[in-house]
């Protein structure tokens, strides 16, 4: 793969790699291998992706949401979960990613939310 050759030849502390949709051509079984390799680089790596497997393969702090040319961390969690739902017909990815966030509650419906609220009131 060309990406591995580029990393091997040019990786150093003062290198910045910019990859646009680096994973678009990969078989889904190779996506985790790619992210594992990228996490070991000495240089800095900026990557764009639309593939749910790639999004959930990365840690929440490492993902940046760019909206209208501005890095927006305030609504990042909600935007990522919404995009995962849009990119995938199943909400598996959204729930998998949301489960990595701290201080988040996932509820199936309004009744679950009511039960959760009542339990919190008892706890407090």
| Domain boundaries defined on the chain | 2-123
Crossing angle of helices 2-10 and 31-39, rounded to 10°: 10
- Higher pLDDT: 35 or 1? It is 35
- Residue 90 pLDDT > 60: no
pTM above 0.85, yes or no: no
pLDDT at 87: 66
pLDDT at 107: 64
pLDDT at 93: 66
pLDDT at 47: 92
Pairing of strands 44-48, 70-71: unpaired
Burial (CB count within 10 angstroms: exposed 0-12, middle 13-18, buried 19+), residue 37? middle
Least confident of 13-17, 45-49, 118-122: 118-122
């Amino acid at each position: 793969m060309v990406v591995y050759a580029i990393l091997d030849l040019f990786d150093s502390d003062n290198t910045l790699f910019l990859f646009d949709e680096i994973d678009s051509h990969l078989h889904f079984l190779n996506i985790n291998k790619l992210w594992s390799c990228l996490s070991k680089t000495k240089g800095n790596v900026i990557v764009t992706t639309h593939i749910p497997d790639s999004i959930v393969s990365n840690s929440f702090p490492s993902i940046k949401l760019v909206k209208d040319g501005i890095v927006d961390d305030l609504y990042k969690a909600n935007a990522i979960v919404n995009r995962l739902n849009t990119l995938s017909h199943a909400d598996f990815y959204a729930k998998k990613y949301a489960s990595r966030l701290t201080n988040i509650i996932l509820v199936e419906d309004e009744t679950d939310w009511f039960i959760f609220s009542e339990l919190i009131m008892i706890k407090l």
